[in-house]
Copies of this chain bind each other. A is one copy, B any other.
Amino acid sequence: MNKGNIVCEVELIDEKKVKAVKKKLPQDTLINQLSETFKSLSDFTRLKILLSLAEEELCVCDIAALTGVSVSATSHQLRLLKNARLVNYIKEGKMVYYSLDDEHINKIVNEATKHCLE
């Protein structure tokens, strides 16, 4: 993954500093989980779905109407969110009702909103 730059990496970096920071970083597996979580929130349609579900439990049809994308695209995104453990669903006959699976999402979005509005 990292080729060359031998000078920079071996001789000139502030090794103490780098090691000190490295020690404080979360494990790669956690950083990976975090980035995956943010990836789920990084798409306009998915984020709108989550914001909608934060208000109320909704069926695929209604979510599609709210987001303005096709039912198929909505279903694809919902599966993604389900895999990311961000939403849950219950089946009622033909209908499938989705809901938010995690209260943290609201807090995350709220903090991000502060950043956007500052």
Contact = CB atoms under 8 A, between A and B. Distances in A.
Interface string A1-29: 11111001100111001101110111000
A4 to B, nearest CB: 7
A38 B112 contact: yes
A8 to B, nearest CB: 5
A95 to B, nearest CB: 10
Interface string A90-118: 00000000000010110111011111111
Given A1-B68, A9-B64, A30-B116, A47 B38 contact: yes
A48 B65 contact: no
B33 A116 contact: yes
A70 B108 contact: no
Contact of A111 (B17, B43, B64, B107): B107
A38 B48 CA distance: 13
15 contacts: A3-B70, A8-B61, A8-B65, A13-B61, A18-B62, A18-B66, A22-B66, A31-B51, A34-B109, A35-B41, A35-B44, A35-B46, A37-B116, A38-B39, A105-B115
